[in-house]
Structure 1
Amino acid sequence: MTTPLTGTHRPLRRRVRASAATALAGAVAALTLTGCSGLSFRDDICSKGEYPVMTVGATGSACVKDGEKVPEGYTRHPEGKVPQKVDDEWDVYWRTHTVDKEGDIIDAPGVG
């Protein structure tokens, strides 16, 4: 026996399933495109074959080719406090700190 609901019930299920599949596919695409897929990617501070240096008395930085001397006005980061990736712990730290001419870590000028 067929009721009026039987005729409309199956197409409704198909539309709900199709809508759910479309929504799920859209959510997966959005997560993938925005980097929220759980596999975050952060750029390296320097390219391969380079090391990071920082300005003395300010928050500037640069990358120097391996084997080359640190340019005047720059210094290497203190051991164990070298940024590796953009926005990692040390990259963020050195935005508000620097080293003075004696090599002591100080608050960056104009911060605080």
Structure 2
Amino acid sequence: MRRAPGTAVFLIACSTATLAALLTGCTTADAICQDGQYPVQYVGATGGDCVDDGHKVPKGTFRYPKDKTPKHVDDKWDRYWQTHTLDEHGAIVKAPPAS
């Protein structure tokens, strides 16, 4: 059976794109925030929000420590901050139940 013209080129292009994505460590995980935003969490709770770059951290929230910032849903730091928060003094503490 003969293939339609261009099928081989299409298959090679798809294979190359797939291989490139795998080799570059491309992830399909959902980002915590959109491009141009950074994540914040509410003081004393586990809920959070995203703030546009260039805007101040809203009152009652904190910006994650640089080395503990979640990047993608369910990554190491996203899971960590589901059970931890900052208190009013800026100390990392266990989050209260059902926060």
TM-score by length of 1: 0.62
Aligned to 2:64: 77
Give aligned-pair identity as a percent.
Answer: 53
Cα offset for 1:40? 5.7
Whichever of the two has the greater Rg, that structure is 1
1:107 corresponds to: 94
Alignment-derived partner of residue 46 in structure 2: 59
For 1:10, the equivalent position in structure 2 comes to none
CA RMSD of aligned residues (A): 1.4
Q: Which runs of 5+ in 1 are unaligned?
A: 1-38
Runs of 4+ in 1 over 6 A off after TM superposition: none
Q: Aligned equivalents of 1:79 and 1:101: distance in 2?
A: 19
- TM-score scaled by structure 2? 0.70
Specify which structure has the bigger relative contact order, considering alpha-carbon pairs within 8 angstroms and separated by 6 or more residues: 2
Alpha-carbon deviation of 1:78? 1.6
* Deviation readout 1:1-59 (Å, 9 max, x if unpaired): xxxxxxxxxxxxxxxxxxxxxxxxxxxxxxxxxxxxxx861010000000000110000
1:51-84 Cα offsets, whole Å, 9 max, x none, are 0001100001100000001111101012200000
**Structure 1 counterpart of 2:73:** 86
Question: What number of residue pairs does the alignment pair up?
Answer: 73
